Every structure is written in C-alpha cells, then in structure tokens.
Structure 1
Amino acid sequence: MTAETPVLDNHLHLDPDNHRGIDAVRDFARVGGTHLLVVNKPSWHLGVDADAGEDFRPVFERTIDIVAEASSELPGRAWPVLGVHPGLISRLVDERGFSPADARDLMCAGLDVAAEYVDAGDALALKSGRPHYDVTDAVWEASNAVMRHAFELAAGLECAVQLHAEASEDMTEVTGWAEEVGLPAHRVVKHYAAGRLEGPVPSVMCDKERLEVATERGEPFLMETDYIDDPDRPGAVLGPKTVPRRVDWLLEDGHDDAVRNAHVETPERVYGISTEETLESGRNGR
C-alpha cells in the first residue's frame, strides 16, 4: 500500500561501522520506505572527543558517506542532518572539566562546521537542542545559547533545525527565539515529539497513540523512529520498518490526508524538498 506514496522517516541514525548500517536501510525500503533523514550519531559514539570545531568534521563526513550509500538502496533518497548533540555539554562539563562557557563555544564551533556542509549542499539541515534532563542553571543557559546559535546559522542558510530537547507540548518561546533571528517557526522541528505541540513542527514518534493525536489535530507533522543503530541497545526506540508500517495502518484507516501531510506537504514546507519528485526521478537534486 505504501508503494504509491512517499514514506519518509524524518529522524534516524545509522552506524556505518559498528552495527547494521545499510542493512537497516534495506529493511526500511523492503516494507515500503522511500526517503530518510539521517542524523549524525553523537560524536562520542563515533570515537570523537572534540577539542575544536574541526574535530567534528570526521563525524559529519562519515554521515554523508553513509547517506550516499543509503540513497542507492532507496526508491527515493536520503539526506544528512548534521549538528552537535546537546548531551555533549554534560560530557564536556561533568567528565572533561570544561566550563559551561567553554563547552558552549566548542559546540557552537561544531555547528559552524556543520553549517559549511549545508551551505555547500551536502547536508539538508542542522541539529541542535538542549538537555532533556536536569542540569545546572549555567549549563542550561549555555545550552540555550548553543541552540540560538543554530537558529542564527539556519536563518542565514535558509534551512531547518531539528531539535533534541525536553518533552513538552508548548515550545513557543523557543520558536520565538528563532523568529527573532529570522528563522521561521515552521523551520524548527522538535524531534521525538508527541502528537500535539505548539511552536515547532512535531516530528512524531511512531507509536499509534501519538499518531492518532497528530492525525486528529490536522496540523503539519512529520513521522520518525529515532532508530539509533546501537549494538549495545538493539531494542531501543523503534525499528527501521516502523514508519512504513504505520503509514500502511493510517491508509487502511482512511487517513490519506494525514499521510500526505506528513510525507509530502510538511517535508516540502519545512525542508524545501519534494518527496514526490525525488521518488519519481530517483534522487534527483535536493
């Protein structure tokens, strides 16, 4: 049933060296998946302990490489989303002795490098955010500063930002910060979202209850698994077959408009991509 419509997983990770990698992409495509947004894994998961912005470059380039391989397995294509995981600030401060201000500066420098790839057309969007767990006021302030830097970069690039942040149904303050620097609210995406969210576009985790809420709400939304491709946590989050199977479920229940919303209209509005054209032409352009 999914073969006639684009099917996009808006947020997953692939480990090109240590776990399933391209096999996960093949699983996704086998059950009807067509398009992927592949977010780089946290830098430390790829063995990078950064001391300067340039140290993130191998993380980004390895992600771009695996995305090119993924595209060759898909009826549509994959795109990279690059950035600095907000949890890095805790590793820097708690484990490596950085001050929050120094951690902030390093993470902003990493985002500057990620922005180079977006500017060159080698990546689609940026990733940033803030911790979803309790931190000190200084770490919270530094994290918000990193996120706002991502918004400034994205405004200049006219690209989207995917956010990893705390669970919430109202993040209008955050999209207000984005709008202050010229980034429209519809280019801010909350990854791992529930079905209802004010402010950013929700990238809804694909359990049925959340999808029912998003479908009934009728606002723009995306669908994701947050598949982490981690050999130490094989059952964590959702598997790569989940989005196509949930699309089938939505179509069987007559929610064709919701499927078009999540897989055609919202991706075009948020990222400026046409999942229909790239499905028809086979990875033709951005």
Structure 2
Amino acid sequence: MIDHETPILDDHLHLDPDHGRGFEAVDDFARVGGTHLLVVNKPSWHLDVEADVGEDFRPVFERTLEIVTEASERLEGRAWPILGVHPGLISRLVDERGKTPDEAESLMRAGLEVAAEYVAAGDALGLKSGRPHYDVDDEVWAASNNVMRHAFELGADLECAVQLHTEATDDLTTVAEWAEDAGLPAQRVVKHYAGGRLTGVTPSVMSEKDRLEIAAEAGDPFLMETDYVDDPDRPGAVLGPKTVPRRVRWLLEKRYEDAIRNAHVETPRLVYGIDTEGTLGESETTLED
C-alpha cells in the first residue's frame, strides 16, 4: 500500500447503472484511490434512442447528469459530465436507417447543439464529437468532419473543451488548425483513446504502461483514461475502473511524480478549467490493491 496525497482523474469512461455495473464501478475506482471522473454519455443507440431530431438526444443527456450526480456522492472528489453525439452514429444513420450523409450531419449537429445547452447552463463540463475510426466513403467522411468542426464552433462559443473520438493516429495537426480557426484553443481539444505521443491536440492516454511511460517521458500535457464501457455483454472490453489509480501507483513507483501532477492537476486545469485539488476532500487518498 502506498499513501499518496493527490487527485486521481479518469478522463473518459462510461457508466450505465441501468444495464451494467454502474455505481459498483465507481466504488471500485474510489476504493483504490480514484477521486475524480469525467463521465461521457454512452452512444444514444445503446440506450435505445433512435434520434430523428436534436431533442431526441435529451433523455440520454439527462440520464448522464443523474448518473454523474450520484457518482459524485461516492467520490472524495467529484464527477463531471461530457455530453455529445458519438461519431459512429453517422454510419448507423446512413447504413441502417437510409439517411443521406447531409441528413445525418444535420441531425448530429442538432444533437450537439442540445448538448451545448447543458454546458451553457453549467450542468456539463464539455462536449464530445469526432469522426469514425474506421473506413467510410468520402461523403460520410466529409459530413463527419463538418460535425466535428461544428463542435469546435460550439466549444469556442462556450469556452469549453471538446473530447474527440477519432481514428488511431499520433498527428492531429489539421484538426488542431480547424479548432483554432473556429476560435477554440487546440489545447482544449482532447483525443480520447490516445497513445503516449500526439501532435496537435491534448492526448487522453489509454492507461497502459507503455503508453503512459512515453507520455511521462515527453513531459507534455496529457490526461489518463480507461474508456471503461460498462457493458455486461463486453465485460473485458477496454480497461477496468481500477486501472487509472493503479497506474498512478505504478508511475509513483517509477518516480514519475511530475507526470502524475501533470495528468491529474495541471492538464485538467489547462484543458477543462477544473481544480482537482480544490475539489478534493481533506482526507488522504490511499492507493491499494
């Protein structure tokens, strides 16, 4: 057991108490030292929402806010919601529901605008968008990029961060330029499921040791995540909720104290404007198995 007084933030995970482990996963995270969570709404169709207009996304966002409220009560720190439209929805709309790419783009932009209402009201921390991580045709790719650029416009207006789901890459320079063109600082754009090195935007590094060591050695701003999916049909998918605290312990053992502070204090403040230290309780955080 190692005592280490620090906030520990998982930058991207999903919670589904209606179908998955839900708050048991939060308790697991907290039990091994986790203090803060950024909870991203699950893809709308996973919650049986087949949207036709932007307002149809609202129940997904409302349920996420309810989940975050209860999760916060179980943490020494707190949780925040990230709301948006999963970029994979475009394939569902075009391939399965017969919409044109332009129609799908319009619907997804409208969903982001509903999500933006929650950020404007102070109920959500940031937006989620992106583009497919798999091959799509040129029209779908262009429509997806248009949706993402709209998210940047909304983020600029709201002065909030935008989390991205994208293809695997270590270079998002062009995407960073789009964000800057929209008035959103590139550092406030976060690529979730990132490797240890990324050019252009801020990486939210999957908490695997090899990726984290690269990020720690680089010394650039980065975050840590699990992308825990909380899906009973995929119990071993991605990383479990205990992973980030355990990797913080590993980083501490490797003498990467500066990297821990970078990922859990400095970068969250830089990207999201949140104070993970100020929202931490007075008792000492304990890392254990």
Q: What is the TM-score with the length of structure 2 in the denominator?
A: 0.96
The 1:93–1:246 alpha-carbon spacing in structure 2 relative to 1, beyond 3 Å, is same
* Post-superposition offset of 1:280: 3.5
SS at 1:278's partner residue? coil
Paired residues in the alignment total 282
Aligned to 1:264: 265
Identical columns (%): 75
SS at 1:18's partner residue? coil
Residue type at the aligned position of 1:245: R
Aligned to 1:184: 185
* Post-superposition offset of 1:3: 4.7
Q: Kindly report which structure 2 residues correspond to 1:80-229, keeping only aligned pairs within 5 A, or say none.
A: 80-229=81-230
Q: Is the 8 A contact 1:162 1:190 kept in 2?
A: yes
SS at 1:275's partner residue? coil
SS at 2:28's partner residue? helix
Q: Is the 8 A contact 1:2 1:32 kept in 2?
A: no
Q: Deviations over 1:50-109 (max 9, x none)?
A: 000000000000000000000000000000000000000000000000000000000000
Q: Is the 8 A contact 1:129 1:164 kept in 2?
A: yes
* Post-superposition offset of 1:252: 1.0
Q: Deviations over 1:88-144 (max 9, x none)?
A: 000000000000000000000000000000000000000000000000000000000
Q: Deviations over 1:232-266 (max 9, x none)?
A: 10000000000000000001111100000000000
Equivalents in 1 of 2:73, 2:186: separation in Å? 33
Between stretches 166-175 and 2-11, larger displacement belongs to 2-11
Equivalents in 2 of 1:268, 1:82: separation in Å? 19
Q: Is the 8 A contact 1:222 1:267 kept in 2?
A: yes
Residue type at the aligned position of 1:195: G
SS at 1:245's partner residue? helix
The 1:150–1:72 alpha-carbon spacing in structure 2 relative to 1, beyond 3 Å, is same
Residue type at the aligned position of 1:95: E
Relative contact order, higher structure (CA 8 A, sep 6+): 2
Aligned to 1:29: 30
Residue type at the aligned position of 1:187: R
Q: Deviations over 1:179-203 (max 9, x none)?
A: 0010001100000000000001000
Q: Is the 8 A contact 1:190 1:203 kept in 2?
A: yes
Could you list the runs of 4 or more consecutive aligned residues of structure 1 that deviate by over 6 angstroms after TM superposition? none
List runs of 5+ in structure 1 lacking aligned partners.
none
Aligned to 1:59: 60
Equivalents in 2 of 1:2, 1:77: separation in Å? 20
Equivalents in 2 of 1:189, 1:2: separation in Å? 30
Residue type at the aligned position of 1:31: V
Equivalents in 1 of 2:27, 2:249: separation in Å? 18
Q: Deviations over 1:5-59 (max 9, x none)?
A: 0000000000120010000000000000000000000000001000000000000
Q: What is the TM-score with the length of structure 1 in the denominator?
A: 0.97
Cα RMSD of the aligned pairs, angstroms, is 1.0
